[in-house]
Structure 1
Amino acid sequence: MIQDKTEKRIAVFLIIVFIFGLIPILVIAKYNYPCADDFGFSAYSRIAWKETHSLLQVLKGAIITVKDRWLGWQGTFSSIFVMALQPAIFGEAWYRVVPWIMIGVMSLSSAFLFHVILRVCMSVRKSIYVCITMLYLFFALECMIDKTQGFFWFNGAAHYMIPHSVAVVLCGLIILLFKEDRHKIRRMLAACVASLFVGGSNYVTGLSIIILFVVVLVVVIYLKRRKYLKRLLLPLVFFTVAFLVNICAPGNIVRQEEVLYRPGVAKSILMSFYYCVEYFTESWFDWTYIIFILSIIPFLWEVVKTVGNKYRYRFPLLVPIASFCFLSAMFTPSLYAMGEAGGGRIFNIIFLDYLFLIILNLYYVLGWIYRHCRVDESNESCIAKKETKLYLITVLIMTVFIGVLYCKVNPDYFTSVSAVKSLVSGEAKEYGKETMERTLRLQNNTHSELELSLLKTKPFLLYYSDIGMEENDWKNSSMERYYQIDNIIGVE
């Protein structure tokens, strides 16, 4: 395939744009502060570090937390273990690394899966791989459904973003298990560890992996590849054992007793299809998705041309139908457990998978067109053509124009713009000042009871929740355990 320097220039440009988008997000992170479940799930670990400064004792505290929650609240043992290790246990200043962690795991896992699919399996040029990966990551970073729960609140992100990222890595590892090379034992061990972790995490991610395991097994059986079936067996066993330990936890029963309405299995499944249509057509789909699709088409076309006639693309209708069913299934666990479609942190990982599926479906449609319509069979890169360059410049101008309009109407729509707004207006600094003063009072308190002023400044990205004005508020109780204070009350 004859390529042009334009591809590399675009790849470098997209990397620079992504880095520039990260800067205000990582700057505002210095004002980030733990809240709500951050305190409750890490109390044992924080006390262990305060009293011993031993990492081993901190890990023991995390294990105690897992045991208590597994017996008394929820079975997601791997997520709980991570929640118990939130960075602020080593000092509140460490909480500023939370966005680095969440954006890091999202970016690295996505880049790994794209590398496996595009570079290892399809032998796509590095510049095209970088362009597709950067477009995905930039859109995921800027348009995340709930930015606070996705990047800044550790507890919520640890329960969903981290397991989702591990699941993405697991998908890449499963693909690599089918390759014959000297790394297969190492990959098998990594796949087993990832399977164990995902099986013990949230049920949305768990159900997604169950579906993918079933699909892969069906394909392997259909193709009569018995040796591949054996390679899938061990990760599947690890996942199944972990998932059973997860769903059979006594704490799940305790938690379900507090839920007033549960629609049942059949109704939950039917409602999942409804909510999938509603959220993606009425609530989330807008011009930014169209820009994403228009931006990525030329690079996917290069993927199609690189692959050539290797695939026959026989199921142009099955792929979008299967994608819709897969996305709908991600709404089911929350509907079944709580009678609602889910919260921001659940929508975040559905959104990330939605972006993956947009790319998959676009690729498949373009592949079908290339195979059956015999379009553009030359060896020249389409990116090198004047028409494509003009097309990409037009898309870039549209992106800037529409982006400016969105920023004017709603500065919090894009993550980076929201961060810049809070930094320039001073609300991020004021929020940091309030939380620091509160932290000093909590750390230096010598009384059994403490009154804390409720937070006045609430930046869009940084603020998730605050303590309450009633003594029995669960958020107050979590903070009391964390700082070892008998009674904390919020006051105006």
Structure 2
Amino acid sequence: MAKEYTFMDFWHDAEAQKRWLRRFVLLILVLLLPAALLAFYARPSADDYVYAARTHAVVEQYGADWGRLLAAAWETTVYFFRNWQGLYVSGFVLALQPAIFGNQWYGLTFLCVLIPLFLCLYAAARIVIFRLEPAQKRLPLALSLLFLFAFVEGMPSPVEGLYWFNGAMNYLPYFALTILNTALMFALAMPDNLSRFRRAAYMVFGTGIGLVIGGGHQVVGELNILLLLFGTIVCVRSRNFRIVPALVSAIVGLLINITAPGTQVRTEGFTGTGLVEAIAKSFVLAGMQWIRWLDVPLLCLLLLLALPLHRLAQSCVLSDRIFRNPWWGIAGTYVLMWAMIFLPSYTMGGIGAGRLLNVVWMTFILGLAVSEFLLLGWLERIRSVSLTTAEHRLWHHARFLPAAMAAMLVCMACVGSHTVKEGQDNFFATSLEAAYELANGQAAAFARTLDEREAILSDERVTDAEITPLGADERPWLLYYTDVSVGPDLWGLTPYYGKNSVVVVEKQ
């Protein structure tokens, strides 16, 4: 009688894993296609012009002269460091937004965001999974794609996370580096099987990443410090000090940021709240986000993660002690979300912009994944509740599993966590909303109108330009962040395009 095929066999069947991975990758790419196509209609807005004025002038005069472009980006960084915000890395990146080469290139923002995010997710997954289950060589790609897909589809503010360069690139690359830094911390916490060279490399990378994140964004820098602090406390108890350099560099980077002259100028323009009020308010707001984000797409994600996380939780590399208190995952996630919301609540009196909620959302997703991992390990290794029987029963219905997986991914691509937020019930998940805006012509109308505005502003014969705001039917939810208001130029369009003046007038 033939031996029954089980999930245990699947984890050792390279050909079966390849087949599943091909289907999985193909389906995710198809579902993300509308969101990618929508990027062709994205156009610059607001702070894009202010940060890129110098680099745009270089392109206009010298073309793509990268020596001059990098010098202009550095000048921009120094200016904003002294006069507005201490983002000594972010300012440099924002000065190089794609539209300095023409509006038609602005859609590259989508790739500028997702490629670093995917690469950091993949690198982090490889580091962690190869420590726990070295034989699972295809699992890092599957998990990194799944998390990327979940991030995109459920993003609370897709325009500020995917299509508006200044908003997205001011947060997400540094969050991606935080994910990678956390994986490096995990590896250094268990250095026994690491070569001396790899240990040193991880320490150097972690130290450098801490400085980069500190100059990227304050909230993400705070998140990075909290994660490293937790890892340091755990490791120091066993006389492992390899994470300390990364923690020190992260603190130094954030201190440079928050003590910069420009940061002082910026904070003077906001009215903060009292310490106690900010603590209480951010605690409540974190809880409200939990309630809003606990929905069907999230359940689909957790179900898709269950089998691989259960497999990883059985790793003999990990001690049973790690799983004794599974509630630490949920508690830690809540604390991290609270801390990220606390900083803008204390300094600016509010929860912050949608781009901040995007990174809070992604922290929430990863935190729940860790919590699920700890729960599965607790059930299996602490409570001795075998989940193998459930896996065997599931395998009896293996012919339905591809359809079930596809249905859950489609659900995530259609519903989306932001659809349950107040005042946003009429919007779909990112992919379905993108398909809708492409089909109804809103995206095309948005791009066409802004290209006409660009033609006026780029016309050298026009020294005093007049432009009009977008109409109500030219503001697609995924692409529209904000627009000019009637009156004088407040966006920095005048120096960006080299005009004597730019005035916004009512639309006829």
Q: Identify the residue that residue 106 of structure 2 maps to in structure 1.
A: 95
Report Cα offsets for 1:347-383 as digits up to 9, x if no partner.
Answer: 0011111111111000101100001233448699759
Q: Identify the residue that residue 300 of structure 2 maps to in structure 1.
A: 291
Q: Identify the residue that residue 474 of structure 1 maps to in structure 2.
A: 490
The question of whether the paired residues in 2 share the 8 Å contact of 1:298 and 1:388 is answered with no
Q: Identify the residue that residue 341 of structure 2 maps to in structure 1.
A: 331
SS of 1:451's equivalent in the other structure is strand
Q: Structure 1 residues 298 and 263, CA, compared in 2 at 3 Å: closer, same or farther?
A: same
Q: Structure 1 residues 215 and 172, CA, compared in 2 at 3 Å: closer, same or farther?
A: same
Q: Which runs of 5+ in 2 are unaligned?
A: 1-7
Amino acid at match of 1:297: A
SS of 1:488's equivalent in the other structure is strand
Counterpart CA distance in 2 for 1:108 and 1:266 is 39
The question of whether the paired residues in 2 share the 8 Å contact of 1:33 and 1:92 is answered with yes
Counterpart CA distance in 2 for 1:253 and 1:414 is 38
Tell me the CA shift for residue 453 of structure 1.
2.2
Give the TM-score normalised by structure 2.
Answer: 0.87
RMSD: 2.7
Q: Structure 1 residues 89 and 383, CA, compared in 2 at 3 Å: closer, same or farther?
A: farther
Counterpart CA distance in 2 for 1:458 and 1:422 is 10
Counterpart CA distance in 1 for 2:28 and 2:338 is 30
Amino acid at match of 2:68: Q
1:139 aligned residue (142, 147, 150): 150
The question of whether the paired residues in 2 share the 8 Å contact of 1:49 and 1:90 is answered with yes
Say if 2:292 is the partner of 1:270: no
Counterpart CA distance in 1 for 2:351 and 2:290 is 13
Q: Structure 1 residues 29 and 395, CA, compared in 2 at 3 Å: closer, same or farther?
A: closer
Tell me the CA shift for residue 403 of structure 1.
6.5
The question of whether the paired residues in 1 share the 8 Å contact of 2:286 and 2:341 is answered with yes
1:438 aligned residue (453, 464, 473): 453
Amino acid at match of 2:205: A
The question of whether the paired residues in 2 share the 8 Å contact of 1:263 and 1:336 is answered with yes
Q: Structure 1 residues 423 and 318, CA, compared in 2 at 3 Å: closer, same or farther?
A: closer
Q: Identify the residue that residue 224 of structure 1 maps to in structure 2.
A: 239
Q: Identify the residue that residue 34 of structure 1 maps to in structure 2.
A: 44
Say if 2:355 is the partner of 1:320: no
Q: Identify the residue that residue 478 of structure 2 maps to in structure 1.
A: 461
Q: Identify the residue that residue 118 of structure 2 maps to in structure 1.
A: 107
Say if 2:443 is the partner of 1:428: yes
Say if 2:269 is the partner of 1:258: yes
Residue correspondence of structure 1 range 316-395 to structure 2 within 5 A: 316-376=326-386, 385-386=395-396, 393-394=403-404
The question of whether the paired residues in 2 share the 8 Å contact of 1:41 and 1:84 is answered with yes
The question of whether the paired residues in 2 share the 8 Å contact of 1:44 and 1:65 is answered with yes
Counterpart CA distance in 2 for 1:383 and 1:446 is 74
The question of whether the paired residues in 2 share the 8 Å contact of 1:78 and 1:200 is answered with yes
SS of 1:489's equivalent in the other structure is strand
Say if 2:57 is the partner of 1:47: yes
SS of 1:2's equivalent in the other structure is helix
SS of 2:44's equivalent in the other structure is coil
Q: Structure 1 residues 142 and 380, CA, compared in 2 at 3 Å: closer, same or farther?
A: closer
The question of whether the paired residues in 1 share the 8 Å contact of 2:414 and 2:430 is answered with no
Amino acid at match of 1:463: Y
2:227 aligned residue (212, 215, 237): 212
- Which deviates more from structure 2 when the two are superposed, residues 149-158 or residues 115-124? 115-124
Amino acid at match of 2:197: R
Amino acid at match of 1:469: V
Tell me the CA shift for residue 100 of structure 1.
1.1
Q: Which runs of 5+ in 1 are unaligned?
A: none
Tell me the CA shift for residue 410 of structure 1.
6.1
Tell me the CA shift for residue 293 of structure 1.
1.7
Q: Structure 1 residues 221 and 60, CA, compared in 2 at 3 Å: closer, same or farther?
A: same
- Which deviates more from structure 2 when the two are superposed, residues 249-258 or residues 304-313? 304-313
Q: Structure 1 residues 224 and 460, CA, compared in 2 at 3 Å: closer, same or farther?
A: same
Report Cα offsets for 1:426-468 as digits up to 9, x if no partner.
Answer: 2222222212222122111333311012223112222212112
Q: Identify the residue that residue 207 of structure 2 maps to in structure 1.
A: 192
Counterpart CA distance in 2 for 1:92 and 1:270 is 44
Q: Structure 1 residues 59 and 460, CA, compared in 2 at 3 Å: closer, same or farther?
A: same
Counterpart CA distance in 2 for 1:160 and 1:405 is 25
The question of whether the paired residues in 1 share the 8 Å contact of 2:86 and 2:263 is answered with yes
- Which deviates more from structure 2 when the two are superposed, residues 434-443 or residues 129-138? 129-138
The question of whether the paired residues in 2 share the 8 Å contact of 1:298 and 1:382 is answered with no
Q: Structure 1 residues 468 and 123, CA, compared in 2 at 3 Å: closer, same or farther?
A: same
Q: Which structure exhibits the higher relative contact order, with contacts defined as CA atoms closer than 8 Å and separated by 6 or more residues?
A: 1
The question of whether the paired residues in 2 share the 8 Å contact of 1:124 and 1:306 is answered with no
Tell me the CA shift for residue 146 of structure 1.
0.5
The question of whether the paired residues in 2 share the 8 Å contact of 1:7 and 1:383 is answered with no
Q: Structure 1 residues 405 and 474, CA, compared in 2 at 3 Å: closer, same or farther?
A: closer
Q: Identify the residue that residue 80 of structure 1 maps to in structure 2.
A: 91
Give the TM-score normalised by structure 1.
Answer: 0.90
The question of whether the paired residues in 2 share the 8 Å contact of 1:206 and 1:243 is answered with yes
Q: Identify the residue that residue 462 of structure 2 maps to in structure 1.
A: 447
Counterpart CA distance in 2 for 1:401 and 1:460 is 20
Counterpart CA distance in 2 for 1:426 and 1:359 is 38
**Percentage of pairs with the same residue:** 24
SS of 1:272's equivalent in the other structure is helix
Q: Structure 1 residues 187 and 309, CA, compared in 2 at 3 Å: closer, same or farther?
A: closer
Counterpart CA distance in 2 for 1:124 and 1:291 is 26
Q: Identify the residue that residue 4 of structure 2 maps to in structure 1.
A: none
Q: Structure 1 residues 140 and 402, CA, compared in 2 at 3 Å: closer, same or farther?
A: closer
The question of whether the paired residues in 1 share the 8 Å contact of 2:415 and 2:429 is answered with no
Paired residue total = 482
Tell me the CA shift for residue 147 of structure 1.
0.5
Say if 2:163 is the partner of 1:149: no
Residue correspondence of structure 1 range 110-189 to structure 2 within 5 A: 110-123=121-134, 125-177=136-188, 178=191, 179-189=194-204
Q: Structure 1 residues 449 and 165, CA, compared in 2 at 3 Å: closer, same or farther?
A: same
Q: Structure 1 residues 392 and 284, CA, compared in 2 at 3 Å: closer, same or farther?
A: same
Q: Structure 1 residues 467 and 49, CA, compared in 2 at 3 Å: closer, same or farther?
A: same
Q: Structure 1 residues 366 and 143, CA, compared in 2 at 3 Å: closer, same or farther?
A: same
Tell me the CA shift for residue 285 of structure 1.
2.6
Counterpart CA distance in 1 for 2:460 and 2:393 is 64
SS of 2:197's equivalent in the other structure is coil
Counterpart CA distance in 1 for 2:196 and 2:28 is 34
- Which deviates more from structure 2 when the two are superposed, residues 243-252 or residues 316-325? 316-325
- Which deviates more from structure 2 when the two are superposed, residues 75-84 or residues 17-26? 17-26
Tell me the CA shift for residue 390 of structure 1.
5.2
